[in-house]
């Protein structure tokens, strides 16, 4: 069985209004400058087994609360704001596996607050809807829950960046982040797209059946397996995609930071677009 994929991946450009730069408390520039969206200034640090995520002074545009309105609200973050992930709160991360925690700004009636969520939970973060959060505590262990200092309901939000790290023990935030990336331009959209800067790789020699693997590449991967035999099944992030017999060639997508495994009596080749 041969599969040939050809073509290139493009990025759709969007028109961006040019506005007058605004100088904020730390001397940085908010809004848009020369039609280019500035990268949002975020920082992150670990201490006392906790993770602190911070958004430094900036300007953010939020959609309006009624989904029927296309107007925006411009909010100034005059001083740094933070959200703390306390010790033992895993956010659904896995020990010794790289995680990506997305940092979100909430518009709480004009006051900007921060929230965090594990990207592996597949939460809708396209900024076209409103978001609700749960108050973060030591037992905040779900990947598909958005956590903030205080629980909020149906607020406009903006993704302002992400933080990647690998902790030896999930919930013990002791290792400094390996990547801190503020949102801006195509920092998340392009870098996280399936097919963007990825190649097909035959990984048969480094994969085993009935073994759990994790997608820590920072973008979705496409798994293609042929020559399967016996009782066949695959699981992605705890969700069974197939169980039983059937054809001997299967493929599936693994979202960012999701786990995946394949069961079968045997296989011929295991390939991944990664």
Does residue 49 form part of some domain?
A: yes
Rounded to whole angstroms, what are the CA distances from 90 to 64, 79, 144, 148, 196?
Answer: 32, 28, 12, 14, 29
Do both 170 and 87 map to the same domain? yes
Do both 115 and 228 map to the same domain? no
Q: What number of H helices and E strands is found in the chain?
A: 0, 21
Question: How much is the average pLDDT of 262-274?
Answer: 90
Does residue 195 form part of some domain?
A: no
Q: Tell me the pLDDT band of 154, cut-offs 50, 70 and 90.
A: very high
Q: Each residue of 117-148: pLDDT tens digit?
A: 998 877 888 888 999 999 999 999 999 899 99
Nearest to 148 by CA among 99, 76, 191, 91: 91
Look up the domain containing 127 and give its range.
22-182
Question: How much is the average pLDDT of 81-96?
Answer: 96
Do both 211 and 118 map to the same domain? no
Q: How many domains is the chain partitioned into structurally?
A: 2
What pTM value is reported for the model? 0.69
Q: Each residue of 31-87: pLDDT tens digit?
A: 444 444 578 999 999 999 999 999 999 999 999 999 899 999 999 999 999 999 999
Q: Does residue 17 carry a pLDDT above 50?
A: no
Q: Which pairing describes strands 232-236 and 221-226: parallel, antiparallel, or unpaired?
A: unpaired
Which is more confident, 19 or 202?
202
| Per-residue pLDDT at 107 | 97
Question: How much is the average pLDDT of 209-220?
Answer: 89
């Amino acid at each position: 069985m041969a599969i040939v994929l050809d073509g290139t991946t493009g990025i759709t450009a969007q028109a961006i209004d040019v506005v007058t730069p605004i100088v904020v408390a730390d001397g940085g520039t908010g809004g848009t400058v020369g039609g280019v969206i500035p990268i949002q200034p975020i920082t992150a640090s670990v201490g006392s087994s906790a993770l602190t995520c911070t958004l430094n002074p900036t300007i953010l545009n939020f959609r309006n609360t009624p989904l029927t309105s296309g107007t925006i609200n411009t909010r100034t973050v005059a001083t740094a704001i933070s959200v703390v992930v306390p010790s033992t709160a895993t956010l659904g991360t896995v020990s010794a596996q790289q995680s990506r925690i997305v940092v979100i700004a909430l518009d709480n009636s004009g006051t900007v607050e921060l929230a965090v969520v594990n990207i592996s939970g597949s939460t809708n973060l396209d900024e076209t809807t409103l978001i609700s959060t749960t108050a973060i505590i030591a037992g905040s262990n779900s990947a598909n829950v958005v956590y903030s200092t205080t629980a909020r309901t149906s607020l406009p939000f903006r993704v302002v960046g992400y933080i990647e790290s690998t902790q030896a023990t999930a919930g013990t935030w002791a290792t400094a982040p390996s990547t801190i990336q503020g949102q801006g331009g195509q920092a998340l959209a392009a870098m996280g797209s399936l097919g963007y800067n990825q190649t097909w790789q035959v990984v048969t020699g480094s994969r085993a059946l009935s073994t759990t693997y994790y997608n820590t590449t920072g973008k979705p991967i496409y798994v293609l397996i042929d020559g399967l035999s016996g009782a066949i099944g695959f699981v992605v992030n705890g969700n069974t995609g197939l169980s039983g017999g059937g054809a001997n060639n299967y493929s599936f997508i693994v979202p960012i930071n999701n786990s995946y495994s394949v069961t079968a009596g045997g296989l011929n080749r295991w390939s991944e677009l990664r």
